Structure 1
Amino acid sequence: MVNFNGSLVAKDSNYLNHENRGLRYGDSLFESIRVVNDHIYFLEEHYLRLMASMRILRMEIPMNFTMEFLEAEILKTIAANPSVAAQRIRVTVFRKEGGLYLPDNNEISYCIETKELQDVFFTITDKTYEVELFKDFFINKDMLSNLKTNNKVLHVVGSVFAKENGYDNCLLLNNQKQVVEALNGNLFLVSGTKIKTPPLNDGCLNGVLRKKLIAILSKLDAFQIVEESISPFELQKADELFITNSIMGIVPIKKYRKKLYSTKTSLELLGKLNAAVRLQV
């Protein structure tokens, strides 16, 4: 079952039509949220990011669209689907139908979907995870690139490129040839005790896990976390590279070209991330 504007409908029903502005213009935002045993991970962070993004896109936020309302709608959707321990929730918000580039109004609709996840905790596998730079297209250095919109054609084409060439992921560049992020998450680079992640003004996604991990690292004396641009030349000099997102947690990069990376820091931070989740319960 899918939750469409508060009504539960079958997944194969025609609850969207050809005039949907998300389909026509990418006039849409989404949040991917991890839920385990009805506990919504980082709900406040996801909600605040969604509200801020809606304001930037000049969408009209309904008075009843509170964090408590969103939580209740997510749990209602989960209850209407087969019971599983861990789930991936996608909350999509789009402007209502009408208009061309200029919408008829700024009112919104939403839908909430669920998908089963295999792991209850954030985990790291032993799989060799190899990446390459994707250089066909570039991310713009602007605020729109920070938003989790449905305008992801660059990431789609990059994913096809990765599959065609046997890579697990690709790293994306902005139009000044700085490394910005991975296809599906934020990038962190470890060099000794210094950990770097690209700043938002380089064009990376304003990731919920990125923000959470920066907060965790800022409290650790063993590491220095900085938001600085990363050049492609730094990648092979790094001790570690890892990707973060709200569903997978931390994904260590094992190989980039001829360089093989350690996962020591990733494993240490994974434990602290799982601890942070348990403290929310």
Structure 2
Amino acid sequence: MVNFDGELYSDEVVLFDGNNRAFRYGDALFETIRVVNSKIFFWEPHYLRLMASMRILRMEIPMTFTMEYLKEEIERTLNANDLDQTAARVRITVFRNGNGLYTPDSNEVSWLIDCKALDSGFYQIAEKDHEVELFKDHYLVAGLLGTVKSTNRIINTLAGVFAQENGYQNCLLLNHDKQVTEAINGNLFVVKGNTIKTPPLTDGCINGIMRKQLIDIIGKTDEFELSESSVSPFELQKADELFITNVISGITPVTRYRKKQYGNSVASKLLGRLNAVVRLT
């Protein structure tokens, strides 16, 4: 079952036609959320990012779009799919209505909530290879739009195809200044000694919810120093660890980049602190 504008429909029901602006122009955005036993992880940051992104895209925010209303609709969708007592991945997609060509004839929106089961409740370090390579065919554009989770993810898609064709588990994306910006599916953190660096939002990376959580966790420790600064490709092979963050997987350590192999001791330590934060929220 999916939730379309507050009504529940079977997955088999056709809800959109060829004029849908998300299909025609990528005129949409989304939030991917982790839920365990109906507990929504980091719901307030997700909601605030959704509202900010809609404003950036000049979408008209419905009066009903309160934090409480959307939370209730997420819970209703989970219940309808028998996922209220397990771990689940929830996606909220918001798209602009109306016709028009590039210029829409309306800024009103519709929305869709769908969900799928996840294997585990709390975050875990995956004990498997995660080799990455730079994706240099196309570049991300640094700026405010780069921070928005729009449905226009063609560079991420092409990087995923490149990774699949060449036997990598992920790719690192570059901006036009040839700085490493993020991975296909999350933000990048680079560990060197006791310094943990992550690219700034001004370099064009997604304003990740898990990125913010890790920045807060690292900032509260005396053990590590956080640096939000540009990452050069030359730094990757000098790093002690690389890891990728998103709200579904939590922290994914990179095991190899070219000839360099990495450990995961810092990532594992931070994951423990992340799970402690999740239990308290």
Flag whether TM exceeds 0.5 (same fold): yes
Q: Distance in 1 between matches of 2:226 and 2:70?
A: 32
Aligned to 2:22, what secondary structure does the other structure show?
Answer: helix
Give 1:66's aligned amino acid.
Answer: T
- Aligned-pair distance for 1:251? 0.2
**Alignment partner, residue 122 of structure 1:** 123
**Alignment partner, residue 190 of structure 2:** 189
**Alignment partner, residue 148 of structure 1:** 149
Give 2:35's aligned amino acid.
Answer: V
**Alignment partner, residue 82 of structure 1:** 82
- Aligned-pair distance for 1:40? 0.3
- Aligned-pair distance for 1:98? 1.3
Aligned to 2:206, what secondary structure does the other structure show?
Answer: coil
Give 1:167's aligned amino acid.
Answer: Y
- Whether 1:99 aligns to 2:105 is no
Q: Distance in 2 between matches of 1:2 and 1:228?
A: 40
- Aligned-pair distance for 1:204? 0.4
Give 2:72's aligned amino acid.
Answer: A
Aligned to 1:277, what secondary structure does the other structure show?
Answer: helix
Give 1:120's aligned amino acid.
Answer: G
**Alignment partner, residue 22 of structure 1:** 22
Give 1:267's aligned amino acid.
Answer: S
**Alignment partner, residue 52 of structure 1:** 52
Q: Distance in 2 between matches of 1:114 and 1:56?
A: 26
Q: How does 1:200-211 map to 2 (within 5 A)?
A: 200-211=201-212
**Alignment partner, residue 245 of structure 1:** 246
- Aligned-pair distance for 1:99? 1.1
Give 1:135's aligned amino acid.
Answer: K
Write out per-residue CA displacement over residues 52-96 of structure 1, whole angstroms, 9 at most, x where no aligned residue. Answer: 000011100011100001100000000000335100000000001
**8 Å contact from structure 2 (residues 98, 107) kept in 1:** no
Q: Distance in 1 between matches of 2:64 and 2:3?
A: 16
Q: Distance in 2 between matches of 1:121 and 1:153?
A: 30
Give 1:178's aligned amino acid.
Answer: Q
Q: Distance in 2 between matches of 1:272 and 1:238?
A: 22
Normalising by structure 2, report the TM-score: 0.99
Aligned to 1:156, what secondary structure does the other structure show?
Answer: helix
Normalising by structure 1, report the TM-score: 0.99
Give 2:32's aligned amino acid.
Answer: S
Give 1:25's aligned amino acid.
Answer: Y
**Alignment partner, residue 263 of structure 1:** 264
Give 1:65's aligned amino acid.
Answer: F
**Alignment partner, residue 13 of structure 1:** 13
**Alignment partner, residue 62 of structure 1:** 62
- Aligned-pair distance for 1:240? 0.3
**8 Å contact from structure 2 (residues 94, 112) kept in 1:** yes
**Alignment partner, residue 4 of structure 2:** 4
Aligned to 2:122, what secondary structure does the other structure show?
Answer: coil
Aligned length: 280
Q: Distance in 2 between matches of 1:82 and 1:263?
A: 35
- Whether 1:234 aligns to 2:232 is no
**Alignment partner, residue 274 of structure 1:** 275
Q: Distance in 2 between matches of 1:68 and 1:98?
A: 30
Q: Distance in 2 between matches of 1:49 and 1:196?
A: 23
Q: How does 1:130-169 map to 2 (within 5 A)?
A: 130-169=131-170
Give 1:58's aligned amino acid.
Answer: R
Structure 1: runs of 5+ lacking an equivalent? none
- Runs (4+) of structure 1 exceeding 3 A deviation are none
Structure 2: runs of 5+ lacking an equivalent? none
Q: Distance in 1 between matches of 2:207 and 2:12?
A: 32
Q: Distance in 2 between matches of 1:18 and 1:155?
A: 24
- Aligned-pair distance for 1:168? 0.2
Q: Distance in 2 between matches of 1:99 and 1:279?
A: 47
- Aligned-pair distance for 1:97? 2.7
Q: Distance in 1 between matches of 2:217 and 2:235?
A: 24
- Aligned-pair distance for 1:16? 1.2
**8 Å contact from structure 2 (residues 36, 86) kept in 1:** yes
